[in-house]
A and B are shown apart, each in its own frame.
Chain A
């Protein structure tokens, strides 16, 4: 066991945990967060995604001791009163089916729009390589990301 300090959604937490335990279990079982979620434990699906210093990481394989950057979870992205444009667009496009996979899609979309505010269709498809959705929300997600891009551009204009 070792003391590990995590910065999650703006708050600092010090935990006494096994350093090789994946970050996912620290977030869920020690900090009680409902997202991210376990999907595969193999970095193959994206359901466990969080942002670390703005970059998507798979918390199911990242040792908790390596999570030294500022972490943002889906719940830390926005609030009901002030959702992130990506969250707003997902609601407006009525995206999810079961919604279990949402952290991967939403957070990879956030990271994509940070680096490319006006992505092409091909760039969006490429950005989601390795992210899974089993209910088949892909078409709605494509529309939502384009809508979010427009909203972000409108905000910046």
Chain B
């Protein structure tokens, strides 16, 4: 790894100050900096969210660099940011590069979080680019000797409206200089960070780049095998480490036999509190040391129930917290009495309970991180989707001021929330400080499966009362489960990491859950949730954190299957029944759109689409909303009546995500969500014994493979040019489980109320229908 010339970083640029001072602007396509051997001094300084230069620079050739404080996890968010900036600046898309993921170069816009990359993260970039165009127009008018009202902008230059040949390029106007223009900043960091100048961004009616399909520019390097990933980062003098995990969850090391790894070159043990790791000169050495190390562990009571008792445990466990409101707000008492009163007037009561397991991020590789602790400062290389917060957390762990830790994101093996990357960052920092050398930590496969934070298991109890005509009078939806986040997905607090939990950081877990995101309007509607205590309070392999569309799949499995169950009882078509209760236009439109595209013939569910021998085919619908995104899906599935295998051969997806920025990667993103959702629906369940998690690899935690991939995913994008772009990274995920379950019911009459829908479970449900 060539040490990168760190002094090109923007701090030297932005220190310049003064209007349009000539200085070194960050070069186009600035690469992540590397800590060179012997380098010293702070590598990070806070960038001001209230300065235009923080978001944009333009070099002498007119090439624009946009500095984005959120992250792309492979869905092309950075590409869409480039489109937005190019659009507002009136320059070509190829003339805009995007830098992200380096705390020295970008402000903290919250990293990848809550599908907010464009919805929130795009705002300051859009506003900054609009303001830059205004400033460039002003400068251009001066240079061209005309009034500002007499110039226009296009193709990276300012030109005279009456005489388009008279023009001056952006590079000539500000290339290599600061804008030094202040923006109004709303005072927030993270997702909510916003800033704007005097200029008003374009109306969408004038868009010519936003809304057009654009190809990802990092793709050739991926496909040609030249792209750098976090696992490729090498720092001079770097050693390799592996973390040692206990055989029984909650047990801690008592004695460690250092001599057991004496034959490994550079082999040594790192122990800090109850945290244990090995270090070696080479990666293979570290792997062997981890296998060889002799440890005696404390005797602890096995912390978990038997796997088959999980849902009874949830059902019977004392409630730690109950609320009808959001998980982060104050408790709202559920008005159960009002619901019961309404229910007492019903002609018919329908009731069902749905169960959803713990699920693993199970990323393509276990997490990797590199940290170089140098006493008064440190550099962190991480695959975390929130590098700013990860660096902040590492600073706290190391006892350094936050500005003395530079976090540099390097692409990781996929990221779908708070996975094991946030833990690896802390582990690398802890070990680097302990041995005084740069350290690379990478997990082994079982650490990516068994020891990553999990999506929580839950049960959902739904009850509704119908009148004699089949109209819903009242509906109650109660979730009960483990907290959505024993650990916050923001990684800025070591208490929310595995290493922090083992080195004495205080418990900071927060019991919280949430309610479904649909917009059905019933006379009485009661949504509330109850959380129960973790099975093991600290450093548990079943500790929970955000996993793509947190709580979405489990809650909407229940809520959207129950809508189907109600429609069936009411003798109604599932689409028509839903439309009775959807009063908001966008929601109803999306549901109608998906039905039209599929050519949905109205009928009561249960008779199926076709039957050929052992194969029964059915169709199922699900609609959901997440914040402002509206999605509806129809799944068409084949059920093998003898084996119980379910194959969703076709999906039709309709999505209203507001204004479309890049239809090509919006489609790819929705496809990815459909397949990820299908995998979680059909295959994924964390296995555990009384002692610990036993799903440790792809054999014990299978995911969808090519043989089960759908034949067709037909996507209809509902454009909303009058709306902002709404998050697409997650919302469609939550529609998949209920759509498949509803299709299985249509095909076979078997109602699946426990996920995943493995062949054994489907087969058992079919037997029940037959008897």
A binding-site residues for B, Cβ under 8 Å: 18, 21-22, 25, 28-29, 34-35, 37-42, 44-45, 47, 73-75, 77-80, 83, 87, 90-91, 94-103, 106, 121, 124-126, 128-142
Q: How far is the CA of A35 from the CA of B364 in the complex (A)?
A: 14
A41 and B444 in contact, given A90-B223, A134-B364 (Cβ under 8 angstroms):
yes
A40 and B707 in contact, given A21-B284, A136-B674 (Cβ under 8 angstroms):
no
Number of A-B contacts (CB under 8 A): 177
Interface residue from B223, B227, B413, B706 paired with A129 (Cβ < 8 Å): B706
Q: Are A102 and B365 in contact (CB under 8 A)?
A: no
Q: Are A45 and B364 in contact (CB under 8 A)?
A: yes
Chain A residue at minimum C-beta to C-beta distance from B709: A138
Expressed in whole angstroms, the minimum distance between the Cβ of B279 and any Cβ of chain A is: 15
Q: Are B707 and A29 in contact (CB under 8 A)?
A: no
Chain A residue at minimum C-beta to C-beta distance from B240: A29
**CB-defined contacts of A44 to chain B, threshold 8 Å:** 445, 697-699
Q: Are A78 and B668 in contact (CB under 8 A)?
A: no
Chain B residue at minimum C-beta to C-beta distance from A145: B706
A-B contact pairs, 16 of them (CB 8 A): A34-B227, A40-B698, A41-B444, A42-B699, A75-B225, A80-B220, A98-B414, A99-B411, A130-B705, A136-B673, A136-B674, A136-B675, A136-B704, A139-B671, A139-B713, A142-B709
Q: Are A99 and B74 in contact (CB under 8 A)?
A: yes
Q: Are A101 and B223 in contact (CB under 8 A)?
A: no
Q: Are B225 and A34 in contact (CB under 8 A)?
A: yes
Q: How far is the CA of A124 from the CA of B415 in the complex (A)?
A: 27
Q: Are A129 and B228 in contact (CB under 8 A)?
A: no
Closest 8 pairs between A and B when the two form their complex, measured CB to CB: A136-B675, A74-B225, A97-B74, A99-B222, A75-B225, A136-B672, A138-B709, A128-B706
- Interface positions, chain B 206-243, Cβ under 8 Å from A, are 215-216, 219-220, 222-229, 231-232
Q: Are A139 and B709 in contact (CB under 8 A)?
A: yes
**CB-defined contacts of A91 to chain B, threshold 8 Å:** 215, 219-220, 223
- Interface positions, chain B 413-437, Cβ under 8 Å from A, are 413-416
**CB-defined contacts of A126 to chain B, threshold 8 Å:** 707
Q: Are B74 and A98 in contact (CB under 8 A)?
A: yes
A98 and B413 in contact, given A74-B224, A80-B224, A139-B675 (Cβ under 8 angstroms):
yes
A98 and B223 in contact, given A136-B675, A142-B706 (Cβ under 8 angstroms):
no
Interface residue from B225, B416, B442, B698 paired with A35 (Cβ < 8 Å): B225
Interface residue from A18, A77, A140 paired with B284 (Cβ < 8 Å): A18
Q: Are B704 and A138 in contact (CB under 8 A)?
A: yes
Chain A residue at minimum C-beta to C-beta distance from B219: A91
Interface residue from B225, B412, B697, B699 paired with A102 (Cβ < 8 Å): B225
Contact with A along B667-689 (1 / 0, CB 8 A): 01001111110010000000000
Q: How far is the CA of A100 from the CA of B710 in the complex (A)?
A: 22
Q: How far is the CA of A34 from the CA of B721 in the complex (A)?
A: 42
Expressed in whole angstroms, the minimum distance between the Cβ of B188 and any Cβ of chain A is: 29
Q: Are A100 and B412 in contact (CB under 8 A)?
A: yes
Interface residue from B215, B415, B676, B705 paired with A128 (Cβ < 8 Å): B705
Q: How far is the CA of A133 from the CA of B416 in the complex (A)?
A: 13
- Judged by a CB distance under 8 angstroms, whether B24 is at the interface is no
**CB-defined contacts of B231 to chain A, threshold 8 Å:** 28, 37-38
Expressed in whole angstroms, the minimum distance between the Cβ of A137 and any Cβ of chain B is: 7
Q: How far is the CA of A70 from the CA of B154 in the complex (A)?
A: 53
A41 and B445 in contact, given A125-B709, A126-B707, A134-B414 (Cβ under 8 angstroms):
yes
A97 and B414 in contact, given A134-B362, A139-B713 (Cβ under 8 angstroms):
yes
Interface residue from A42, A78, A138 paired with B675 (Cβ < 8 Å): A138
- Judged by a CB distance under 8 angstroms, whether B665 is at the interface is yes
**CB-defined contacts of B707 to chain A, threshold 8 Å:** 125-126, 128-129
- Judged by a CB distance under 8 angstroms, whether B353 is at the interface is no
Q: Are A96 and B675 in contact (CB under 8 A)?
A: no
Q: How far is the CA of A135 from the CA of B707 in the complex (A)?
A: 16
**CB-defined contacts of B698 to chain A, threshold 8 Å:** 40, 42, 44-45, 132
- Judged by a CB distance under 8 angstroms, whether B73 is at the interface is yes
A101 and B284 in contact, given A135-B414, A139-B713 (Cβ under 8 angstroms):
no
B binding-site residues for A, Cβ under 8 Å: 73-75, 215-216, 219-220, 222-229, 231-232, 282-284, 362-365, 411-416, 442, 444-445, 664-665, 668, 671-676, 679, 697-699, 703-707, 709-711, 713
Expressed in whole angstroms, the minimum distance between the Cβ of A22 and any Cβ of chain B is: 8
Q: Which of B364, B412, B698 has the most CB of A within 10 A?
A: B364
Chain B residue at minimum C-beta to C-beta distance from A103: B225
Q: Are A79 and B703 in contact (CB under 8 A)?
A: no
Expressed in whole angstroms, the minimum distance between the Cβ of A125 and any Cβ of chain B is: 5
Expressed in whole angstroms, the minimum distance between the Cβ of B472 and any Cβ of chain A is: 35
Q: Are B364 and A39 in contact (CB under 8 A)?
A: yes
Q: Are B223 and A96 in contact (CB under 8 A)?
A: yes
Assuming A130-B705, A141-B706, what are 8 further A-B pairs, CB within 8 angstroms?
A: A28-B231, A40-B365, A42-B699, A100-B229, A121-B711, A124-B706, A136-B673, A140-B671
Expressed in whole angstroms, the minimum distance between the Cβ of A2 and any Cβ of chain B is: 14
**CB-defined contacts of B284 to chain A, threshold 8 Å:** 18, 21-22, 25, 29
Q: How far is the CA of A91 from the CA of B37 in the complex (A)?
A: 37
Q: Are B697 and A42 in contact (CB under 8 A)?
A: yes
Chain A residue at minimum C-beta to C-beta distance from B672: A136
Expressed in whole angstroms, the minimum distance between the Cβ of B737 and any Cβ of chain A is: 15
Expressed in whole angstroms, the minimum distance between the Cβ of B67 and any Cβ of chain A is: 22
Chain B residue at minimum C-beta to C-beta distance from A44: B698
Interface residue from B668, B697, B705 paired with A97 (Cβ < 8 Å): B668
**CB-defined contacts of B363 to chain A, threshold 8 Å:** 134
Interface residue from B229, B672, B713 paired with A135 (Cβ < 8 Å): B672
**CB-defined contacts of B413 to chain A, threshold 8 Å:** 37, 39, 47, 98, 100-101, 134
Expressed in whole angstroms, the minimum distance between the Cβ of A47 and any Cβ of chain B is: 6
A37 and B219 in contact, given A125-B706, A136-B671 (Cβ under 8 angstroms):
no
Q: Are B710 and A87 in contact (CB under 8 A)?
A: no
Q: Which of A18, A42, A78, A98 has the most CB of B within 10 A?
A: A98
Chain B residue at minimum C-beta to C-beta distance from A128: B706
**CB-defined contacts of A21 to chain B, threshold 8 Å:** 284
**CB-defined contacts of B699 to chain A, threshold 8 Å:** 42, 44
**CB-defined contacts of A29 to chain B, threshold 8 Å:** 282-284
Chain B residue at minimum C-beta to C-beta distance from A87: B223
Q: How far is the CA of A102 from the CA of B218 in the complex (A)?
A: 13
Q: Are B224 and A87 in contact (CB under 8 A)?
A: yes
Q: How far is the CA of A149 from the CA of B411 in the complex (A)?
A: 30
Q: How far is the CA of A80 from the CA of B709 in the complex (A)?
A: 30
Expressed in whole angstroms, the minimum distance between the Cβ of A70 and any Cβ of chain B is: 17
Chain B residue at minimum C-beta to C-beta distance from A102: B222
Q: How far is the CA of A106 from the CA of B284 in the complex (A)?
A: 26
Chain B residue at minimum C-beta to C-beta distance from A130: B705
Q: Are A37 and B706 in contact (CB under 8 A)?
A: no
Expressed in whole angstroms, the minimum distance between the Cβ of A98 and any Cβ of chain B is: 4
Chain B residue at minimum C-beta to C-beta distance from A43: B698
Q: How far is the CA of A6 from the CA of B699 in the complex (A)?
A: 31
Q: How far is the CA of A100 from the CA of B73 in the complex (A)?
A: 11
Q: Are B704 and A96 in contact (CB under 8 A)?
A: no
**CB-defined contacts of B671 to chain A, threshold 8 Å:** 136-137, 139-140
Expressed in whole angstroms, the minimum distance between the Cβ of A57 and any Cβ of chain B is: 16
A39 and B365 in contact, given A29-B282, A129-B707, A139-B709 (Cβ under 8 angstroms):
yes
Interface residue from A83, A137, A139 paired with B224 (Cβ < 8 Å): A83
Chain A residue at minimum C-beta to C-beta distance from B675: A136
Interface residue from A25, A78, A135 paired with B283 (Cβ < 8 Å): A25
**CB-defined contacts of B227 to chain A, threshold 8 Å:** 34, 99
Q: Are B225 and A73 in contact (CB under 8 A)?
A: yes
Q: Are B216 and A94 in contact (CB under 8 A)?
A: yes
Interface residue from B364, B412, B415, B673 paired with A133 (Cβ < 8 Å): B364
**CB-defined contacts of B674 to chain A, threshold 8 Å:** 136
Expressed in whole angstroms, the minimum distance between the Cβ of A42 and any Cβ of chain B is: 6
Q: How far is the CA of A123 from the CA of B664 in the complex (A)?
A: 28
**CB-defined contacts of A25 to chain B, threshold 8 Å:** 282-284
Expressed in whole angstroms, the minimum distance between the Cβ of B661 and any Cβ of chain A is: 15
